[in-house]
Amino acid sequence: MKAITVEPKKPGTVRCEDIPEPDVREGSILVEAIAAAVCGTDIEIAEGKYGWAPPGKTRLVLGHESLGRVIDPGPASSLKKGDLVSGLVRRPDPVPCPNCAVGEADMCRNGLYTERGIKEIHGFMSERWRIEPEYAIKVDPSMGILGVLLEPTTVIIKALEQVMAVGQRSFWEPKTLLVTGAGPIGLLAAAVASLAGIEVHVLDRNKTGPKPELVRALGATHHSGSVLDIGFEPDVIVECTGVGSVIAESIQKVGAGGVVCLTGVGAGGIATRAVADVAAAAVLKNNVVVGSVNANKRHWYKANDRLARLDRKWLSRLITRYEKPENFKQALERQPDDIKVVIQFSEI
Ligand code: BGC
């Protein structure tokens, strides 16, 4: 079968190739891939900056944002043939650490977790894949191809849950939320937050094009320029750029008792503000900076619900390009107007 594979940590090694059918040890449910979406992590892996092949192998099947159709539910699942499914990304570490032991692999303490398409287990960018019943999430059939947006939504659900958990350390009724970065994660964060009735603002470097329009269509306010110039102090900032200067400004700008949640993974950059100045702002205003990655089953459950409550037309505008698996090169290359690129394996 056709699959998009890569030799991790070696730039330029992605290819679309024939590989054997998935091994039954990868899970008792057999799924036909419909689509896999591309995210920043996939691009990083393709650029040789991240990713790990399964033990004893040199290549990894890419893809962790999945949508498929059940071909064979196997003996141990309540799914039926034809159901739409998406697969959880992370698997617990084998030790296991306390968090993995209680079903919170997203909070793994020892780093020995594995992740489909990222860390030591094959991903979902193959014509067929297998999955264990406990990690297969049934997608609302009315979502159609938009079900491929479930995984990035889970990441947001977890981030917002972290924000709320941290906020509970004192009396706290957040009224305003700023998202930095209007990529797929930022836009989904704004959309999910707007369902909760909070006043939502999005800051992005694009002043024109589809992104500002998508923000306004949510009833949210679009800003560009510096976080320091937005004209108010948000109770919550969900940082989705991973850019050093935006992070530092967010920590300085968030309101007293506020929470900055970091979801973006960047690297390098030049320190535009002294660390102690940024820290002093956090101390004097009792602020919290919390990092958030991945998502557990609880977040997947909630994400399924929230995604189905969002406007379908608005969601479909997030997918700006569909590519065939053979065109993996174009799919993994960022283009200026891209929001979410989806590799389509079969018709929905
Ligand atoms: C994925 C997460 C994963 C993280 C780190 C993200 O792109 O959505 O599931 O935990 O990368 O590998």
Ligand 1 centroid–CA 50 distance in Å is 11
Separation of alpha carbons 252 and 275, rounded Å: 11
Helix 210-217 to helix 184-195 angle (10° resolution) is 10
Q: Which of 258, 262, 149, 146 is nearest to 198 (CA)?
A: 258
C-beta of 39 in contact with ligand 1 (< 6 A): yes
Ligand 1 centroid–CA 12 distance in Å is 21
The residue whose C-alpha atom lies closest to atom 7 belonging to ligand 1 is 41
Ligand 1 centroid–CA 269 distance in Å is 21
Q: Give the CA dihedral 326, 329, 334, 337, nearest 10 degrees.
A: -40
C-beta of 118 in contact with ligand 1 (< 6 A): yes
Ligand 1 centroid–CA 108 distance in Å is 13
So what's the pLDDT on residue 51? Answer: 98
The residue whose C-alpha atom lies closest to atom 11 belonging to ligand 1 is 41
Shortest-distance atom of ligand 1 to CA 50: 12
Shortest-distance atom of ligand 1 to CA 293: 10
C-beta of 115 in contact with ligand 1 (< 6 A): yes
So what's the pLDDT on residue 268? Answer: 79
So what's the pLDDT on residue 320? Answer: 97
C-beta of 126 in contact with ligand 1 (< 6 A): no
Helix 244-253 to helix 275-284 angle (10° resolution) is 30
For the chain, the first-to-last Cα distance in angstroms comes to 19
| Contact between 341 and 323 (Cβ < 8 Å) | yes
**One-letter amino acid for residue 114 of the chain:** T
Ligand 1 centroid–CA 307 distance in Å is 19
Ligand 1 centroid–CA 333 distance in Å is 19
So what's the pLDDT on residue 273? Answer: 77
C-beta of 158 in contact with ligand 1 (< 6 A): no
Q: Which of 202, 267, 334 is nearest to 49 (CA)?
A: 267
So what's the pLDDT on residue 118? Answer: 98
Q: Tell me: the pLDDT tens digits for 44-58?
A: 999 999 999 999 999
| Pairing of the two strands 60-61 and 2-6 | antiparallel
Could you list the pLDDT tens digit for every one of the 348 residues in the chain? 999 999 999 999 999 999 999 999 999 999 999 999 999 999 999 999 999 999 999 999 999 999 999 999 999 999 999 999 999 999 999 999 999 999 999 999 999 999 999 999 999 999 999 999 999 999 999 999 999 999 999 999 999 999 999 999 999 999 999 999 999 999 999 999 999 999 999 999 989 999 999 999 999 999 999 999 999 999 999 999 999 999 999 999 999 999 999 999 888 777 777 889 989 999 999 999 999 999 999 999 999 999 999 999 999 999 999 999 999 999 999 998 899 999 999 999
**One-letter amino acid for residue 176 of the chain:** T
So what's the pLDDT on residue 256? Answer: 97
Residue to mutate (ligand 1; options 293, 297, 332; most atoms within 8 A of CB): 293
Q: Which of 174, 179, 206 is nearest to 192 (CA)?
A: 179
Buried b or exposed e, range 67-105, using 16+ CB within 10 angstroms: bbbbeebbeebebeeebbbbbbbbbbbeebbebbeeebb
Q: Tell me: the pLDDT tens digits for 255-268?
A: 999 999 999 988 87
C-beta of 296 in contact with ligand 1 (< 6 A): no
C-beta of 222 in contact with ligand 1 (< 6 A): no
Shortest-distance atom of ligand 1 to CA 119: 12
C-beta of 41 in contact with ligand 1 (< 6 A): yes
Two tokens at 204? 């992005």
- Give the predicted TM-score (pTM) of the model: 0.97
